[in-house]
């Protein structure tokens, strides 16, 4: 198991989100109005989407600093709850000038683009973030190998 030894408490989670927000605010293109990041992860498979709303209300693709992905991964790891797992996706946004929001998805299957995670990502997720049987969503369970490997695996 590679889940954190000690999860982040709410104050530490907020500090990490504040750090992320400052990082992004320093890097956003001139004239931005809104930033939206969709961050999805299963095991080591990560899928992200980023959009920046411009003054003309259009959306443009933008590449955040790579540190942003490290901070979101650290947040995901730090929000692990023993036997509960961690969130599968988060929608993070900033509205100009500096107000952020974040919504976590702990139960539903993310919409993957361009492709879903490979089969081994689901087993890897349970190794990294073990869940008790009742905390494994049905959609997730259906993607596990036929041998039924779950968080009770002996290789932790």
Residue 58 has pLDDT above 90, yes or no: no
* Averaged confidence pLDDT in the chain: 90
Residue 4 has pLDDT above 90, yes or no: no
Who wins on pLDDT, 140 or 1? 140
Q: Encoding tokens for residue 142?
A: 């259906």
Q: What is the pLDDT of residues 88-110, one digit of tens each?
A: 999 999 999 999 999 999 999 99
pLDDT at 5: 61
Q: Encoding tokens for residue 65?
A: 């600093």
- With H, G, I as helix, E, B as strand and everything else as coil, classify residue 50: strand
Average pLDDT over residues 112-120: 91
Average pLDDT over residues 5-10: 86
Who wins on pLDDT, 67 or 153? 67
What are the φ/ψ torsions at residue 145 (nearest 5 degrees)?
-55, 155
Q: Encoding tokens for residue 92?
A: 């993070």
Domains of the chain and CATH, by start: 10-141 (3.30.500.20)
How far apart are the C-alpha atoms of 17 and 140, rounded to whole Å? 28
Helix (H) or strand (E) holding 42: strand 34-42
Q: What does the radius of gyration of the chain's CA atoms come to, in whole angstroms?
A: 17
Helix (H) or strand (E) holding 103: strand 99-105
In this prediction the pTM is: 0.87
Who wins on pLDDT, 1 or 105? 105
Give the single-character DSSP code of 57: S
CA 121 to chain CA centroid, nearest Å: 14
**Is 62 in contact with 106 (CB distance < 8 Å)?**
no
């Amino acid at each position: 198991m590679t889940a954190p030894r000690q999860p982040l408490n709410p104050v530490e989670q907020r500090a990490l989100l504040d750090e992320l927000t400052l990082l992004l605010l320093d890097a956003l293109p001139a004239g931005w109005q809104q930033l939206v990041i969709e961050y999805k992860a299963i095991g080591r498979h990560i899928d992200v989407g980023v959009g920046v709303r411009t003054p003309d209300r259009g959306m443009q693709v933008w590449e955040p600093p790579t540190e942003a992905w490290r901070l979101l991964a650290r947040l995901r790891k730090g929000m692990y709850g023993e036997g509960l797992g961690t969130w599968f996706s988060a929608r993070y946004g900033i509205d100009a000038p500096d107000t952020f929001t974040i919504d976590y998805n702990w139960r539903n299957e993310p919409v993957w683009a361009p492709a879903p995670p490979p089969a081994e990502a689901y087993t890897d997720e349970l190794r990294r973030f073990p869940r008790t049987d009742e905390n494994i969503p049905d959609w997730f369970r259906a993607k596990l190998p036929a041998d039924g490997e779950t968080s009770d695996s002996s290789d932790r």
